[in-house]
Amino acid sequence: MTAPSLDFWFDLASHYSYLSAMRIDELATRAGVTVRWRPFLLGPIFDALGWEAPPFVAQKEKGVYVMRDMERQCRKYALPWAPPSEFPRRALLATRVAVLAADEPWLPTWCRAVMLRNFGEDREVDSPEAISAMLEARGVEAAPVLALALAEDNRQRLRERTQRARALGIFGAPTFFVGKEMFWGNDRLEDAIVEALSTAP
């Protein structure tokens, strides 16, 4: 019998993705749902939609609200929150590492480490030095991972992942898929898990 599952599409620089990344494994494990982590880049999605900047940046009032909302949500979920002094903070190299690690058991802990550093500590996450420190802290040798992450085939892999997100109709992060059923936003995580359970054979 196939276990119920869902796809978790997220951007490492997305604050609402941070909320879901920190919660999804515990919730899914408790429910018996398998999670497939799908890191991608929102920037090209926004470009394709004709947006000159992320909506939280383009609309000042929305940006102010979201930062206050993040403070409340992090308090609700008992997560660290340090308002990022740079938003969105560059996370391209970190995302390339995440795409490279698609089949590695340390992918979820890596993504959480990047997001905690960004949103819980307000520290940059994309320099080789920062990447190396986070990898080594997880017992992963940094030099070969960085070399592979920067290789052209992995760069192309990230482009294709982001193109796939666009083809699926993704317009924001986090987004969850159960089969073809889409759920958008951190507040739809639990709904996605229920859907996965309801559609399991």
State whether the Cα torsion 162-168-172-177 is positive or negative: negative
Residue positions annotated with a catalytic role: 14
Q: How many CA atoms lie within 13 A of 47 on its CB side?
A: 6
CA–CA separation, 116 and 190 (whole Å): 22
Question: Per the structure block, which two tokens stand in for 117?
Answer: 């550093």
Closest among 52, 83, 73 to 174, alpha carbons compared: 73
> CB of 104 within 8 A of CB of 135?
no
